[in-house]
Amino acid sequence: MADVEKETLIDKLSEYGVFTYTFIPMYEMPHLYTPFEKITNCSTEESVRKAVERRELISLKGISGSGKTCVVQHVFLTPRVDCFPVVLSPIKEDIVTVCSSQEEFIRFMLSQMLEAVRQFTSVEKEIKELAKDALAQKISYVEGKNRKLSFRLGGLFSILPFLSSVQPELALDLGSFLQKSLEGKIYNTQRVQCIQRLSETIEEYGIMPVFFLDDTDKFLKHPEIDLSSVVPKFFGLIVPILSKLECPCIIATHPYYQQFEIYKQTEKNYFDCLVDIPEIEYEGLTRIVQKRIESVEEAPWTDVFSEGTMKLIYQRYKKNRRMRDPMSLCKACVDWASQNHVEKISELVLASVLVDDHQT
């Protein structure tokens, strides 16, 4: 048993939440994210990055929790050209209406961009500088936690990458354009032109707009609502119009869509680049865990987990290739070990965690 008066490495890992298994904030990505291209034979992030440079319509396919959002965020943080990322996720909208109508979806895109501009203009200079320092890793992961970056930055994660590039004049131009566009009726002949003019305005400032449709597996697949009729409309009506925007667009897709013939046709006829989230090997998982641990202390992962435990955790990943699962187990294990003053996570600790999880 460990000395309860002394903060151990496991205590730190639990306290600072290094094994987050859901959304990783942009400013924590450099500390917590290990790119697939560094732990597999697949050039996942680089493929997306090159497709963005070519201004293509990109399908990034993987199941929920496999790491699609992290791939895109990493690309936004390591671009070869300055990007203006616009994250689109109509989860809080009337999904049937928005995803079944080109006019409504364009209106949704404009409103999302206006909200992003409003957020940018409302950020205090001090917070902008703090965000820049965090993204440049001038602030360590631990320091960011201690300075409560998450609380201070609020919901600005999606616009952090271009905080250093966006000039106040651009924000004003965009705000004025968007407000006028939303006040008027968008007719069929104006659908594409409206977004194209907006993109041209952004590019006048040397920044390339990149649209990212995140969480489509959430807004096109609902456990309580039958959205099977919406999926064909989204891929039959919305995706084709996105292909005409003349700027890069990344769509997070899901293997579930393969059962729809319209998706197969859209994949063949409209997507320029198809990227699948790859499967990682056991050594890849240990490298991911290693980087998470190093965010708080230089120590080998074997100081925290026994090899037998890590292999069992990897088997959980192998069941469905969902990265969320092993990270969730790692978090549960370090939390349990910290609470019970255990120095190292063994198979018995993992068994206790699984028993507790089953009982709850």
Q: What is the CATH number of the domain that holds 299?
A: 1.10.8
Q: Which pLDDT does position 149 carry in this prediction? A: 72
176 and 236 in a single domain? The answer is yes
Token duo for residue 83: 């990007």
In a domain, 130, yes or no: no
| CATH number, domain containing residue 177 | 3.40.50
300 and 188 in a single domain? The answer is no
In a domain, 25, yes or no: no
Domain end (from 218, 246, 276) = 276
Return all residues near 318 (Cβ < 8 A) that are at least 6 apart. none
In a domain, 145, yes or no: no
Report which of 19, 17, 13, 90 is spatially closest to residue 327, judged by C-alpha positions: 19
Q: Which pLDDT does position 191 carry in this prediction? A: 64
**DSSP letter assigned to residue 258:** G
In a domain, 34, yes or no: no
333 and 256 in a single domain? The answer is no
pTM summary value: 0.90
265 and 315 in a single domain? The answer is no
Q: Which pLDDT does position 146 carry in this prediction? A: 87
- In whole angstroms, give the CA distance from residue 110 to residue 182: 7
In a domain, 153, yes or no: no
255 and 318 in a single domain? The answer is no
From the centroid of its chain, how far is CA 254? Answer: 15
Q: Crossing angle, helix 282-294 and helix 324-339, to 10 degrees?
A: 50
In a domain, 313, yes or no: yes
Amino acid identity at 105: F
Q: Which pLDDT does position 1 carry in this prediction? A: 47
270 and 310 in a single domain? The answer is no
Q: Which pLDDT does position 269 carry in this prediction? A: 96
Return all residues near 260 (Cβ < 8 A) that are at least 6 apart. 231, 232, 235
Output the CA–CA distances (angstroms, integers) from residue 168 to 87, 97, 171, 198, 329, in the order listed: 20, 34, 5, 16, 44
207 and 312 in a single domain? The answer is no
Cβ count within 10 A of residue 151: 7
Q: In which residue ranges of the chain is pLDDT below 50?
A: 1-3, 157, 360
179 and 74 in a single domain? The answer is yes
Return all residues near 300 (Cβ < 8 A) that are at least 6 apart. 290, 293
Helices (H), the chain: 9-15, 29-32, 36-39, 44-53, 68-77, 95-98, 102-122, 125-135, 141-146, 149-153, 168-183, 191-203, 216-219, 230-233, 239-242, 261-269, 282-294, 307-320, 324-339, 347-359
In a domain, 244, yes or no: yes
199 and 304 in a single domain? The answer is no
Domain end (from 255, 276, 297) = 276
Domain end (from 242, 276, 310) = 276
263 and 305 in a single domain? The answer is no
224 and 248 in a single domain? The answer is yes
Number of domains in the chain: 2
271 and 298 in a single domain? The answer is no
Q: Which pLDDT does position 151 carry in this prediction? A: 66
Range of the domain at 330: 9-19+279-359
In a domain, 299, yes or no: yes
- In whole angstroms, give the CA distance from residue 360 to residue 348: 18
Q: Which pLDDT does position 48 carry in this prediction? A: 97
Token duo for residue 73: 């965020």
